[in-house]
């Protein structure tokens, strides 16, 4: 089945903005990109977007869908460990599956209505959210979250989930050891072994708080003094005064090109060199960092870096799950950094950058021939068409296509 999409502008990003071009879609892939005069000679069904900008679908590379229910129960957090302490207390004895499923539905509605076509979901409830994700039609990299509390048989559980999604081409499975402070060093080694054996990517929260830095160096910290008092099984972690969180993973042999790191807002110069040397993939969640009273990442470094993605994190640590608002926040906090082509870089981070972080960049994330047609379009409301993407909260979305299928068109 062929379709032609006509739009005033197309943002690729490889070729920048194209004016008066069209796209020919064959089945679920981009078959040809050409001037509209050439493609419209063909007698295929046409979607005329008129005064719009067509682009790759937005990729929310890090989100906790199931944590919507937490939002109304949280008090103000003075820092990350104060927030984490509240989360632990709220989750104790919590077993309301229906509430979790409703939270997932609400989160999907909110994050997808602004143009998100792919999510990096962190699943904490043994696949409870998968049926809802399937019904949503979103593309999803599903990260099975591992902590000491569920580590006993995580390998078997992940393989069960893999069977559950084996017939769904929109969902792919990865592993998510929660953090360096929530797993024994030996469990991290098991995660590494499982990842290699089953050829699945690893992702983790890293360098998210100042206390995490103190923790891995063996200094006085709030994990030891506060958080671990709430846990029945505190982690046994190898620590050294010379470690940073990233150096710790390097010491374990975890550093490879199948690793994605989330947050990374407390980095040393040595950490940045390790990132560049190993071409590590990094997802920023800047509004979450601010929400938790932590510092923002080195935005200039990551805006100039080739494998940066963007995420909203969960509603437990953000004002909302609107991904365009996350893009807008990133722009407003980067304006003074003298970054060349800042708006275009934020679009890249939100599309092809996210695809890289999820290991999907060979298939999608940009408008190129033979890539999967995950596409969105926004009605142009501003003189600069890119402003109509970053500054309009996604309210002007006109088209959403996932895997060649029209999800929304108005």
> What residue ranges of the chain have pLDDT lower than 50?
none
The full DSSP string for 122-174 is EE-STTTTHHHHHHHT-EEEEEEEE-GGG-TTHHHHHHHHHHHTTT-TTEEEE
- Show the tokens assigned to 347: 């679009």
Q: Among 175, 121, 169, 107, which residue's Cα sits nearest to residue 147?
A: 175
pLDDT at res. 409: 82
pLDDT at res. 97: 82
pLDDT at res. 170: 97
- Residue 71: other Cβ atoms inside 10 A: 16
Q: Among 339, 335, 350, which residue's Cα sits nearest to residue 389?
A: 350
Rounded distance, CA 185 to CA 203, Å? 16
pLDDT at res. 149: 84
pLDDT at res. 73: 86
Q: Phi first, then psi: what are they for 8, rounded to 5°?
A: -60, -40
Q: Set out the domains of the chain in order of their start, with CATH numbers.
A: 2-57+367-409 (2.30.40.10), 59-357 (3.20.20.140)
DSSP assigned state of 209: S
Which stretches of 249-310 are assigned E, i.e. beta strand? 259-263, 281-284, 308-310
pLDDT at res. 94: 67
Q: Phi first, then psi: what are they for 202, rounded to 5°?
A: -115, 140
pLDDT at res. 318: 96
DSSP assigned state of 74: P
Sheet order of strands, 308-310 included? 58-63, 116-123, 139-146, 171-177, 202-206, 259-263, 281-284, 308-310
pLDDT at res. 93: 66
Rounded distance, CA 311 to CA 331, Å? 14
């Amino acid at each position: 089945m062929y379709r032609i999409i006509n739009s005033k502008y197309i943002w690729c990003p490889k070729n920048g903005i194209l004016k008066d071009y069209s796209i020919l879609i064959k089945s679920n892939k981009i078959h040809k990109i050409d001037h509209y005069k050439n493609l419209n000679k063909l007698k295929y069904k046409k979607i005329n977007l008129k005064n719009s900008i067509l682009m790759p679908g937005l990729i929310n590379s890090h989100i906790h869908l199931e944590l919507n229910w937490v939002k109304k129960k949280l008090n103000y957090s003075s820092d990350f460990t104060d927030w984490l302490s509240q989360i632990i207390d709220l989750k104790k004895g919590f077993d309301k599956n229906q509430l979790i499923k409703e939270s997932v539905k609400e989160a999907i509605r909110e994050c997808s209505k602004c143009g998100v076509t792919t999510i990096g979901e962190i699943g904490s409830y043994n696949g409870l959210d998968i049926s809802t994700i399937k019904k949503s039609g979103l593309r999803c990299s599903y990260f099975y979250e591992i902590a000491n509390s569920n580590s006993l048989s995580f390998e078997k559980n992940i393989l069960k989930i893999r069977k559950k999604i084996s017939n769904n081409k929109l969902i792919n499975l990865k592993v998510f050891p929660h953090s360096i402070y929530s797993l024994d060093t030996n469990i991290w080694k098991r995660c590494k072994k499982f990842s290699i054996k089953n050829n699945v990517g690893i992702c983790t929260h890293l360098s998210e708080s100042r206390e995490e830095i103190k923790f891995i160096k063996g200094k006085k910290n709030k994990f030891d003094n506060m958080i671990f008092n709430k846990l029945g099984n505190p982690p046994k972690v190898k620590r050294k005064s010379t470690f940073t969180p990233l150096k710790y993973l390097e010491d374990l042999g975890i550093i490879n090109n199948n690793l994605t790191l989330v947050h990374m807002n407390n980095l040393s110069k040595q950490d940045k060199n390790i990132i560049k040397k190993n071409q590590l993939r990094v997802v920023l969640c800047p509004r979450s960092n601010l929400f938790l009273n932590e510092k923002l990442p080195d935005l200039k470094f990551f805006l100039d870096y080739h494998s940066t993605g963007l995420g909203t994190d969960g509603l437990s640590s953000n004002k909302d799950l609107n991904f365009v608002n996350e893009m807008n926040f990133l722009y407003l906090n980067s304006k003074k950094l003298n970054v060349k082509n800042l708006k275009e870089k934020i679009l890249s981070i939100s599309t092809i950058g996210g695809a890289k972080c999820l290991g999907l960049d060979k298939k999608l994330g940009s408008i190129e021939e033979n890539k999967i047609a995950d596409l969105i379009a926004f009605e142009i409301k501003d003189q600069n068409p890119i402003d109509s993407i970053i500054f309009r909260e996604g309210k002007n979305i006109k088209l959403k296509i996932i895997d060649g299928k029209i999800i929304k068109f108005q």
